[in-house]
Amino acid sequence: MTSNKLHEECGVFGIYSNDDIDVVSSAYYALFALQHRGQESCGIAVCDDGVIKGFNDAGLVNDVFTKDVIKNLGGGNMAIGHVRYGMNKDESPRRNAQPLIVTHIKGNMALCNNGMLTNYAELREELELKGVIFRSTGDAEIIASVVVAERLRTGSIQTAVCEAMNKLKGAYSTLIMSPKKLIGMRDPYGFHPLCIGKIKNSFVLASETCALDSIGATFVRDVEPGEVVIIDKEGLRSITTHCNTKPQSLCVFEFVYFARPDSVVDGSCVHEARARAGAFLAQQEKIDADVVIGVPDSGIDAAIGYARESGIPYGLGFLKNKYIGRTFIQPTQADRENKVRIKLNPIASTVAGKRVVMIDDSIVRGTTCARIVRLLRNAGATEVHVRVTAPPFKHPCYFGTDVPKQSELIANRFEDPKELAKELGADSVGFITVENVLKIAKDCKLNFCSGCFTGEYICEPPVKEKEHKYAKKISEGEKK
């Protein structure tokens, strides 16, 4: 999918009720809170007395889940939900929507996932040669097939999940709902977050703590990398067989861009981490300027930190139209450019006649950043100094972040900051250093994946690229 900004893959939510809780409504509101993690498709699966049913479709949460859809889902004691962003232009949003509901000889289950398997191609080929038939191109169906295969030869769903983890490589934060249990598993590296919350005697699992807040749940703790969490009528327990088997490697963009600023990820507040990133930028290089502004949304917290550290006043530089979805979900480049024009409007009284420091979270291809710089120029800014809370992107990501091909990354075409600034129409451009971005979490207790900056990956990249040879045919067929 052609894009100028980074894209996250998805968000997950699950609830097991030991109280009188409307699990469908809880999932609905939680997905609203997680909508920023994926705007292409969404879905909810609910379990009522051992029977699992669900609904998913392309679109935003409030469009997909009408009153009639929610009513038809009925009630139950468990539910899982998912919001998704597709990472391939040939993917079918409807075909790849989650949760998946699977029926097999030992029962049924529902599954949703956040992440990307590095051995997707190998697993899919192996399963297809055994006669497994796939309807989607996503990792979730691969994980479901591996779990079901293990379930057929083991005595419990949690044992099957643990055995499946021996075959899965890469990034995954996955929720599985069986007729009696809600299970969460996080890959041994902990690439993407997964946390546990509680309401009275009931438990929830979610990609971010903001989802817990949306339904009045209290944060309990994060799921540890490699941990399998089991929730049923007896409460919560976990299996830690795969814990501490790999070095921790949280995706740094959970703090830089992906997560909501009111979330707490692996013990660190996202807002504070972004403010620290802004402070590091101010320390790296002194700029004579009149005002600091942030590009909504994730650049605002960093701009506040930059202003606080530099002593340059912070100002509200842009008004964001909250009723427009993120620009990357538009089907063509022209559509995306039109949406950018009405999505952000500079506040002239803040920038006119002033030297401006503009803080953004990342520069991918550079075209969006260049358009925003032009907006500021047209609003009367005399100077525009671009500062970025991510180091330059120079390498692909294999773990769930949609970083384009290396040839499309502007940092590989303009390595000289002066040439890059000229290309963007800015007076100067600067990036946070790799060393500093790895320090942005509180007390530096977390270890981050920085492979997209350095080319050094914590685990082996895919032997062969993820193939979507059926996706285009599926997508073309659905358009007819």
Residues taking part in catalysis: 10
Which tokens go with 387? 């500062």
Q: How many CB atoms are closer than 10 A to CB 419?
A: 12
Q: Which residues pair with 182 in a beta bridge?
A: 177, 231
Alpha helices in 347-438 (DSSP H): 348-351, 367-378, 410-413, 417-424, 434-437
Question: Which helix (H) or strand (E) covers residue 33, if one does?
Answer: helix 23-33
d(CA 199, CA 212): 9
d(CA 399, CA 111): 19
d(CA 8, CA 403): 10
d(CA 15, CA 467): 33
DSSP structural state of residue 383: E
Q: Which amino acid is at 32?
A: F
**C-alpha triplet 443, 363, 251: angle, nearest 5°:** 40
Alpha helices in 362-433 (DSSP H): 367-378, 410-413, 417-424
